Structure 1
Amino acid sequence: MPLDLDWVASVQANTSAIERRAASLGGRRTVKKDYQAAWLLKAVSLIDLTTLSGDDTPGRVQRLCAKARQPVSAETLHALGMDGLTVGAVCVYHDMVATAVRALEGTEIPVAAVSTGFPAGLSPWHLRVQEIRESVAAGAREIDIVISRRHVLTQNWQALYGEMREMRDACGEAHVKAILATGELGTLRNVARASLICMMAGADFIKTSTGKEGVNATLPVTLTMIRCIRDYQERTGIKVGYKPAGGIAKAKDALLYLALMKDELGDDWLYPDLFRFGASSLLGDIERQLDHHLTGHYSAANRHAMG
């Protein structure tokens, strides 16, 4: 849609109220026993299993893709009646896209590529756009782009909108997730306005973080962003997805995020087309909790390695 600066200017964020709402969630939304196991299995299906390290190798990516195909032991899934469960996607750097696509051949698991000078987003503009095109050509079905934080910090909304529109166009048929790097935007109001502009410019998802910032996904930031999604959907009829990334390592944290999504946006946002977790270590803790549910004992963490 066209950039609506009047709408952007009207967006505010009541920080103290947002923080109170987020802080109250843990005491009001808890699930136990079979219900907890069901929610944790739901969380597994929403994970973007990720490796974004400078020492990534084809072997590591292949092992990660094997984990994506079989995220929880076959015995555990069979006991819980969830044979065939997979994660939502595998997320890698551009150089590893072709490797991941080959490793996931025969499945419906999409490959997501981080792009546009990830994580800082400060490489030359034409190279950022070309990186998107090359990742799509290599087989990536989802592109996680990073915005230029300076446009938000200087309130240059037209520049942010134009940048996002061009990146959306470069993605073609691939879904685009706009990474806001919320830990570097200063205020929740900036987070809300940047969220809105990225949605106006065609983002399929808005995402909190690269995972490389000092502060990544938090519940207050999540509440701010998903209320922008709700407002956008109410005004335009368009549903935009949400992806918290970085710092979500425990099963109990995943349950809080799922409860918040259900409360604020409803059941539609509990499926991979509209919600993802950007995480890897989270899967290991979920596996341990599922083992405990079945056996009454916690297994050692090293039994649940990523590959």
Structure 2
Amino acid sequence: MTLNPGTDLRSDALSEIRINTPAVERRAATLPARRSLKRDHQAAWLLNAVRCIDLTTLAGDDTPDRVARLCAKARQPIAPELLEAMGVSGLTTGAVCVYPTMIAPAKRALGNSGIPVASVATGFPAGLMPLNLRLAEVLYAVEHGADEIDIVITRAHVLRGEWTALYDELRAMREACGSAKMKAILATGDLKSLENVARASHVAMQAGADWIKTSTGKEAVNATLPVSLVMCRAIRDYRDQTGHVVGFKPAGGLRTAKDALNWQVLMAEELGRDWLRPELFRIGASSLLGDIERQISHYVTGRYAAAHRQAIA
């Protein structure tokens, strides 16, 4: 996946965006039933979800040792005896996501595994810091080796319709990221309407976001299927208009294997199978992996393992 170069801001088109909320909600409600995934197919889709997870720790008491344990789980996310029984090898998560000060411990723990390190930045989760300080945090993350930067937008720009200000802010962040890929967190639970979600999605992509991401995981409402549907259709429109391909990351609230299946069905239905790979689809999660491993254990052994047997870190 190449970096999204972005485009000039097309503010005139933003005012034309209209969302039929009842239609979006009806479509989202039918998505989980659109594909019947049983036995072998379900297990395969669950393993695919694992390779698309950004395994995350964003706790106030994070330490290098905690991060090292998380990285060990990222390198071996499913018990080796389960993978051996399925004839699978080399499975890892899509990335490990940490705070900027934990980048160096994560890089050491991951070694030459090839697993990217993602770092939140720009005053995560609220983003209510002066822009120069937010950009300094991006530069700090890049200097310490982050491969991907999860930035947060200023929600007030969206709520006030200040699209040029939002674009300029995101463009500056894109430049600060350099060769690192940028995920733009829209904090959709704070944006009040699906029209605002769609407009913010387009501005983020025009400014050069490589992924657009639903949430920080700290809002009262995080990833939902209706919001995700609107964002995926914005990605499709952007690709059709520019030829540039942008990824999608739902985060916050995805906790069960069923959630992992539902969001993959959304990607397949709305964007196609190309988006069922970690280059274009990530799931921001921590507890999700434990439930997926429990379902994989049931598939292999016919029994559900106790949740404490699938510790994630």
Q: For this structure pair, what is the TM-score category when the shorter chain's length is used for normalisation?
A: over 0.9
Q: How far has the Cα of 1:269 moved from its partner?
A: 0.6
Task: Quote the residue 1:243 is aligned against.
Answer: 249
- Measured in 2, the distance between the counterparts of 1:59 and 1:123 equals 29
Q: 89, 95, 102: which one pairs with 2:108?
A: 102
Q: How far has the Cα of 1:267 moved from its partner?
A: 1.2
- Measured in 2, the distance between the counterparts of 1:287 and 1:117 equals 33
- Measured in 2, the distance between the counterparts of 1:11 and 1:129 equals 30
Q: How far has the Cα of 1:28 moved from its partner?
A: 2.5
Q: How far has the Cα of 1:29 moved from its partner?
A: 2.2
Q: The residue matched to 2:141 in structure 1 has which SS? A: helix
- Measured in 2, the distance between the counterparts of 1:81 and 1:189 equals 45
Q: 142, 152, 157: which one pairs with 2:158?
A: 152
- Measured in 2, the distance between the counterparts of 1:206 and 1:161 equals 14
Q: How far has the Cα of 1:24 moved from its partner?
A: 1.1
Equivalence map 1:4-153=2 (5 Å): 4-153=10-159
- Measured in 2, the distance between the counterparts of 1:87 and 1:295 equals 23
Task: Quote the residue 1:260 is aligned against.
Answer: 266
- Measured in 2, the distance between the counterparts of 1:66 and 1:6 equals 48
Match of 1:251, as an amino acid? A
Deviation string 1:261-300 (CA, Å, 9 cap, x unpaired) is: 0011011111111100000111000000000001111000
Deviation string 1:79-125 (CA, Å, 9 cap, x unpaired) is: 11111100000000001000001101111100000000000000121
Deviation string 1:240-268 (CA, Å, 9 cap, x unpaired) is: 00000000000011101101100110111
Match of 1:104, as an amino acid? L
Q: How far has the Cα of 1:13 moved from its partner?
A: 1.1
Q: The residue matched to 2:15 in structure 1 has which SS? A: helix
Q: 260, 284, 287: which one pairs with 2:290?
A: 284
- Measured in 1, the distance between the counterparts of 2:196 and 2:129 equals 23
- Measured in 1, the distance between the counterparts of 2:302 and 2:178 equals 48
Q: Is contact 1:94-1:114 (8 Å) kept?
A: yes
Task: Quote the residue 1:273 is aligned against.
Answer: 279
- Measured in 2, the distance between the counterparts of 1:5 and 1:120 equals 25
Unaligned runs of 5+ in 1: none
Q: Is contact 1:29-1:256 (8 Å) kept?
A: no
Equivalence map 1:192-207=2 (5 Å): 192-207=198-213
Task: Determine if the alignment matches structure 1 residue 183 to structure 2 residue 189.
Answer: yes
- Measured in 2, the distance between the counterparts of 1:249 and 1:154 equals 33
Deviation string 1:178-228 (CA, Å, 9 cap, x unpaired) is: 000000000000000000000000000000000000000000000000000
Q: How far has the Cα of 1:30 moved from its partner?
A: 2.4
- Measured in 1, the distance between the counterparts of 2:34 and 2:73 equals 33
- Measured in 1, the distance between the counterparts of 2:54 and 2:305 equals 24
Question: Which runs of structure 1 show a deviation greater than 3 angstroms over 4 or more consecutive aligned residues?
Answer: none
Match of 2:172, as an amino acid? E
Unaligned runs of 5+ in 2: 1-6
Q: Is contact 2:139-2:176 (8 Å) kept?
A: yes
- Measured in 2, the distance between the counterparts of 1:295 and 1:226 equals 36
Deviation string 1:139-195 (CA, Å, 9 cap, x unpaired) is: 100000000000000000000000000000000000000000000000000000000
Q: How far has the Cα of 1:233 moved from its partner?
A: 0.3
- Measured in 2, the distance between the counterparts of 1:101 and 1:5 equals 40
- Measured in 2, the distance between the counterparts of 1:306 and 1:294 equals 20
Report how many aligned residue pairs link the two structures.
307
Q: How far has the Cα of 1:26 moved from its partner?
A: 2.1
TM-score w.r.t. length of structure 2: 0.97
Could you say what the CA RMSD is over the residues aligned between the two structures, in angstroms?
0.6
Once the two structures are aligned, what percentage of the paired residues are identical?
Answer: 63
